[in-house]
Amino acid sequence: MKALLVRVGADQSEGGGSWNGPVNTQTGAFAYVPIPESKPTHSNLATPYSKVAESVSGFGLALPSHLASGHMHLDPDFEHLTYGDQGQRAKQIQSKLREGDLIVFYAGLADTQPGRCLVYALIGLYVIDSIIPATSLPQTAWDSNAHTRRVLPPNASDIVVKAKPGVSGRLKRCIPVGSYRNRAYRVEPRLLDEWGGLTVNDGYLQRSARLPEFRDAARFLDWFHAQKPELLARNN
């Protein structure tokens, strides 16, 4: 078994929407707020931010105006259990992972508790069913992933991961795993030991073309199950 760690969700970068979704660290409840869509989408397949506005308002917050009026790049799409990618990341996923392997999603979330620190937490997990070229999805399935909702067809190298239902999805309660130390956000040392390590220096967390790989995916999965996670086939 192999597993890759993938950062998703809105963040403080320009491409990430300059905003972080909220989390209540006392309960683990969070709102999954995707990054903005950067390309035109078919009007009947668009995913406006209004779809997550209610979830965000449940934390006593409102989406910033520059997001509220726009559209999301809803990827991963936990409702459809898909994840799309392109470029070097797509190549890594396609070359390293097979059916039964894992993609583990994490995000940087803004704590709603006093102090409002940034929390790096696991928000979902996929057990892979298949990895297919995005161009192979029939038109009837274009609404299942952000890469096929776009007006321009996907590049030949774009992929869509389909996950196994029942064992894949969005976490009902996120699992905090990282904090700021040694001048960067990193996975906690205790967790690196429990997981068997990652292929990045000292658990370094960033949105990168090179995806961190779990050195012992089976050991990580045992740890994950020990947290008694509840996985949902929905986005919020």
Average pLDDT over residues 135-152: 96
Q: Taking phi first (over 0 means left), then psi (-120 to 50 degrees means alpha), and beta for anything else, what does residue 95 get? A: alpha
Distance between CA 94 and CA 38 in Å, rounded? 24
- Whether residue 206 has pLDDT greater than 90: no
pLDDT, one tens digit per residue, over 174-185 is 999 998 888 889
Distance between CA 144 and CA 138 in Å, rounded? 10
pLDDT of res. 54:
96
pLDDT of res. 114:
76
pLDDT, one tens digit per residue, over 11-31 is 999 999 999 999 999 999 999
Distance between CA 25 and CA 174 in Å, rounded? 9
> 207: pLDDT confidence band, cut at 50, 70 and 90?
confident
Spell out the domain ranges in the chain: 3-232
pLDDT of res. 113:
82
- Whether residue 73 has pLDDT greater than 80: yes
Average pLDDT over residues 92-97: 97
